[in-house]
Amino acid sequence: MQKFVYYAPTEIVFGPGTELRAAELVKKYGGSRVLVIYGGHSAKKSGLIDRVIGNLKENGLEALAMGGVVPNPLVSTAKEMVKAGLEFGADFILGVGGGSVMDTSKGVAHAIASPEHDIWDFWTGTKVTKSLPVGAILTISAAGSETSNSAVLTNDLQTPPTKRGINTDFNRCKFAIMNPELTMTLPKFQIGAGAADIFMHTSERYFAAILGNHLTDEIAEGLFRDIIFYGPHGVQDPTDYEAMSEIMWCGSVSHVGLTGIGSKGDTPRDGDWACHQLGMAISALYDSTHGATLTAVWAAWSRYVKDANVARFAQFARKVYGVAEPDDEKAAEEGILLTNAFFRSLGMPLSLTELLGHEPTDAEIEAIATECTYGKKRTIGSFKSLAYDDIVAIYKACR
C-alpha cells in the first residue's frame, strides 16, 4: 500500500422504510429548521416528499420543501433555494433524490452558511470554510454524492454554460438514508445511466498513475464484477430488490474513496478522472445525461491512453472479466470490447453520434474540447496527461 489519508464520516442507514428515520437523524445532527430539496414531480407524486415532511413535522421540526432540481443541476435553481433558505432560517439541508439533488444541496448549504458569497464563487476558487449540515435520502443509485466529498454544478447564467466540480470535506453528508425500494420506479434508461456512472467512478480510480495498492485493487475489481452482473439485472427488472440493493450500495462504495486508496499520493485527487472531464464538457453544452456521456467516450479514451501502461488494462480484463489471453495488448483490447458490451447491456450509447443524435462536426468537437480545457488553459488526466489536441483526437475517435 502507498501512503494515504482516508476520511468517510457519513452515517449510512440502509434498507426498506428507512426514510421514516429522517427526523431522528436530522435531530441527531443538530437540525431544527429543515430545507428539503428535491427534483422533479416523481418524488412528490409518489408521496415520498409528503412522507418525509410529515415525519419531520410530527417530530417537532420545521420544514420547507423546494423542488425543481434537474439533471446537470443549475446554478440558477440553487440561487433561488439559497434565497428561500435564508428567508426561512434553515439550519439543515435535506436532499431527497439523486446526485443532482445532493450536489445542489451541498452548494446551497455552503452559500447559506456564507451569504456574503455568491454560490458560484465556491466553484471558481473561493475556499469553503463553513457549511450547514446536509443529509441525504437517496432515490437514484448513480453519482455516489451521498458519500463523496465532491459536488458538481452547471452555471447556466453564463454563455456558453459551463460545468464545474469542487472537492471539499464540507461536501460530506452527515447521513445517507438508502432504501433500494425508492429506486424501483425509475425509468430503465436512468437505472442504466446510473450503473454506468458507478462503473466509471471505480474506473477513474483504478486507472491511476500510482499503483501497487493490492487490496484497493481487489476491492475495485470486486465492485466492477458486482455492478457488471447486477446493473443489467436492475435494468431488466427494476423490482428485483437484490439487484437494486446491490446497485445502490455499489454507488456509495464507488465514490466514498475505498476503490482509490493509495492512488492519490501528493495529487489533489485519487485517480485519473479524464473521462469525467470529457463527459462533463459534453453535458455542459448539450445537457446530455452524465452516465451516457461517459460510456460514449470510455473506449476511445482507453485506446488513446492504454500504452501508458497496457499491463494495467490487461489486469483489468483478466481480473474483472476472466480474460485468459496471455498477450497484454490483446487482453487489453478484449477488456475494452467487453466493457462496451456491458455498457450496451445497460442501454447506453457507445459513440458521440449515438449520444447526441447527430454526427458532431469538427467545429462542435473543438467547442467541446475548449470547454473541457477551460479555454485551452488546462490538461486533464493522470494515467496519461491530455492536452487540447489529445482531447480533440479522443472526441473524434468516439464520433
Helix, strand, coil in percent for the chain, rounding step 5: 55, 10, 35
pLDDT reported for residue 3: 87
Look at strands 162-167 and 150-155 and give their pairing: antiparallel
Q: Which of 164, 182, 200 is the last residue of a domain?
A: 182
Distance CA 8, CA 124 (A): 25
Phi, psi of 35 (to 5 degrees): -90, 115
Whether residue 115 is predicted with pLDDT greater than 90 in this model: the reply is: yes
CA atoms within 13 A on the CB side of 53: 15
Amino acid identity at 32: S
* 222-236, 264-278, 327-341: least confident range: 264-278
Residues 175 and 235 in one domain: no
Residue 3: inside a domain: no
Residues 224 and 289 in one domain: yes
pLDDT reported for residue 80: 98
pLDDT digits (tens, 9 = 90+) for 201-234: 999 999 998 889 999 999 999 999 999 999 999 9
DSSP assignment, residue 376? T
Buried b (16+ CB within 10 A) or exposed e, 125-138: eeebeebbbbbbbb
Residue 301: inside a domain: yes
Residue 76: inside a domain: yes
pTM: 0.94
SS3 317: helix
Q: Which of 182, 204, 225 is the last residue of a domain?
A: 182
pLDDT digits (tens, 9 = 90+) for 134-167: 999 999 999 999 999 999 999 999 999 999 999 9
Residue 1: inside a domain: no
What nine digits make up the cell of 290?
452524465
Distance CA 317, CA 324 (A): 9
pLDDT reported for residue 40: 82
Residues 64 and 213 in one domain: no
Residue 81: inside a domain: yes
Helices (H) and strands (E) in the chain, counts: 15, 8
180 CA to centre of own chain: 18
Buried b (16+ CB within 10 A) or exposed e, 211-249: bebeebbebbbbbbebbbebbbbbbeebebeebbbbbbb
Question: In this structure, what CATH number is given to the domain that contains residue 139?
Answer: 3.40.50.1970
pLDDT reported for residue 43: 84
pLDDT reported for residue 42: 82
Residue 165: inside a domain: yes
DSSP assignment, residue 293? H
Residues 292 and 225 in one domain: yes
Q: By residue range, what is the domain housing residue 326?
A: 188-397
Whether residue 65 is predicted with pLDDT greater than 70 in this model: the reply is: yes
Rounded to an integer, the average pLDDT of 335-341 is 98
Residues 36 and 140 in one domain: yes
Residues 266 and 325 in one domain: yes
The mean of the pLDDT values for the chain is 96
Residues 29 and 126 in one domain: yes
pLDDT reported for residue 57: 97
pLDDT reported for residue 268: 66
What nine digits make up the cell of 247?
446497485
Residues 211 and 356 in one domain: yes
Residue 338: inside a domain: yes
Residues 163 and 234 in one domain: no
Question: In this structure, what CATH number is given to the domain that contains residue 341?
Answer: 1.20.1090.10
Distance CA 100, CA 372 (A): 20
Residues 175 and 193 in one domain: no
DSSP string, 159-196: SS-EEEEEE-GGG--SEEEE-GGGGTTS-HHHHHHHHH
Rounded to an integer, the average pLDDT of 172-184 is 97
Residue ranges of E strands in 32-76 = 33-38, 62-66
Whether residue 324 is predicted with pLDDT greater than 80 in this model: the reply is: yes
Q: What is the number of domains present in the chain? A: 2
Q: Which of 122, 156, 182 is the last residue of a domain?
A: 182
SS3 60: coil
